[in-house]
Amino acid sequence: MRVLLISSYEIGRQPFGVASSAAWLQAEGADVTCLDLAMERLDEQEVRAANLIGFHVPMHTATRIAISHLSRVKELNRQAHICFFGLYAPVNETYLRQLGVGTILGGEFEQGLAALLRRLDAPSSERMETPAQPEATISLARQQFLVPDRTGMPVLQRYAKVDTGHGTQRVAGYTEASRGCLHMCRHCPIVPVYGGRFRIVQRDVVLEDIRRQVAQGAEHITFGDPDFLNGPKHATAIVAALHDEFPEITYDVTVKVEHLRRHSAILPLFRETGCLFVTSAVEAVDERTLEIYEKNHTRADLVEVAREFRRIGLTLNPTFVTFSPWTTLESYADLLDLLIELDLVDNVAPIQYAIRLLIPTGSRLLELPEVREIVQPFDQEALYFPWTHQDPAVDELYETVRALVEAGTAASQARRATFRAIWKATYAAQHGISPDDAAVPEPPIADLPERSVPSVTEPWYCCAEPTDLQLASSGDRTAI
């Protein structure tokens, strides 16, 4: 059987989910072709030849882009079985079924894909006639993973790179040591699928995957786990082994503020084993919003983490949901001022200042009466519940900040310059004047030493309504 696996967008990373699925399906005897629409145009010949076409949808933007290609794929090949698999497949099941998707797989989807292949490959007399798929829509099975097969994918050198902060860039590989998360943050898209559970990828599989990427030129590894310290022993064993075998290879991880506080003793190990930076979804710095999100950390926790990182020489890469129904002009200005106070201005990617809360189906935010009161009817094409801020000035500031970020990105503007423009626009919004008014002061950043911090050339973001640039990124590495 011929299988076409399609990735549409993964923030500049070579897609682990597609490579892992390819290995499982090849082990079942399938002839598998992989296609990454963030790098390549839709190959119509491969579409026509496929018996099974699977779209990997690990995030909201990827799902929107995949759906935009679905009608063309069906037009080219009306006989192929269509499957959507990944985190955002089950939460959008109703709409995807309406579009003609035959199989929906979420959670630990590889076993489901293998079972689907066997079902489709069986003699017609043995196929199940029931219209409902027999494979679990959401599986949390404890899988014995196979080493991902990245054969046929665009070379690593074409994907986003890591800027070391010292004038050089490194070719970045990508892997996952675990999936899911132990936590139940209200706004998080992982929660509706994993429900507070996580599953590990076996250590030998992770290390072999890294080994093969290094052989292909990787000089840095991004661990894409939602939280690398959900399993501290598993995580630390992997980075220690990685450093022992490849001491010159650097890496980055994502960890909750709560875990950075609880497992602070691990941070020196990160530094010693080549961790360039740690991404942490701070989301907000006002206590009310943090409580609504159920982030399980406080503003004071962030302050302590930032100081500890500076003390031991690690780089913190904080991310935020800067515009939410609970954002005020004052709370937004307070966030900017706290970044100055903590000397984190150079650490924050400009896109983070323009992140607007995304409320998809299944979001725990919909448990809150105050959220249900403000959301508009679900927009099936956009795949989220639209909402408008009760204070028009906040939505106006969002549009201003978004425009400043997009203009700064297009001009390759330094982070500090974009921050300055955003700070002045925020001050002006608070005081009801133009940002160009002579009464608008300069932000108090002149005395902060400018820092060149390591970062990925395509910024990380989550829980956000996608911008037009992100949705237009298919086949174009210049997006965002």
The conformation of residue 475, written as its DSSP 8-state character, comes to T
Give the residue carrying structure tokens 């909750």. 256
Taking only the tens place, the pLDDT of each residue in 102-151 is 999 999 999 999 999 999 999 875 655 556 799 999 999 999 999 999 99
The answer to the question of residue 121 being in a domain is yes
Taking only the tens place, the pLDDT of each residue in 258-270 is 999 999 999 999 9
Instruction: Specify whether 175 is located in the same domain as 118.
Output: no
Q: Which CATH number is 63's domain given?
A: 3.40.50.280
Q: Which residues pair with 320 in a beta bridge?
A: 283
The answer to the question of residue 118 being in a domain is yes
Q: Are the CB atoms for 123 and 158 separated by under 8 Å?
A: no
- pLDDT over threshold 60, residue 470: no
The answer to the question of residue 476 being in a domain is no
Mean of pLDDT over the chain: 94
Q: Which CATH number is 319's domain given?
A: 3.80.30.20
Instruction: Specify whether 90 is located in the same domain as 195.
Output: no
User: What per-residue confidence (pLDDT) applies to 124?
Assistant: 73
Give the mean pLDDT of 219-232.
98
Q: What is the pTM of this model?
A: 0.94
3-state secondary structure 60-125: HHHHHHHHHHHHHHHHHCCCCEEEEECCHHHHCHHHHHHCCCCEEEEECCHHHHHHHHHHHHCCHH
The answer to the question of residue 477 being in a domain is no
Instruction: Specify whether 302 is located in the same domain as 162.
Output: yes
Taking only the tens place, the pLDDT of each residue in 281-305 is 999 999 999 999 999 999 999 999 9
Number of domains in the chain: 2
Give the mean pLDDT of 275-282.
98
Give the mean pLDDT of 384-413.
96
- pLDDT over threshold 50, residue 474: no
**Cα separation of the two ends of the chain:** 37
- pLDDT over threshold 50, residue 430: yes
Instruction: Specify whether 219 is located in the same domain as 173.
Output: yes
Instruction: Specify whether 203 is located in the same domain as 132.
Output: no
CA distances from 370 to 19, 331, 373, 380, 463 (A): 41, 19, 5, 22, 19
User: What per-residue confidence (pLDDT) applies to 126?
Assistant: 61
Instruction: Specify whether 283 is located in the same domain as 342.
Output: yes
Task: Tell me which residue range forms the domain holding 271.
Answer: 156-471
Instruction: Specify whether 120 is located in the same domain as 174.
Output: no
The answer to the question of residue 147 being in a domain is no
Q: Are the CB atoms for 7 and 35 separated by under 8 Å?
A: yes
The answer to the question of residue 480 being in a domain is no
User: What per-residue confidence (pLDDT) applies to 461?
Assistant: 57
Instruction: Specify whether 200 is located in the same domain as 166.
Output: yes
- pLDDT over threshold 80, residue 152: yes
Q: Which residues pair with 268 in a beta bridge?
A: none
Instruction: Specify whether 201 is located in the same domain as 124.
Output: no
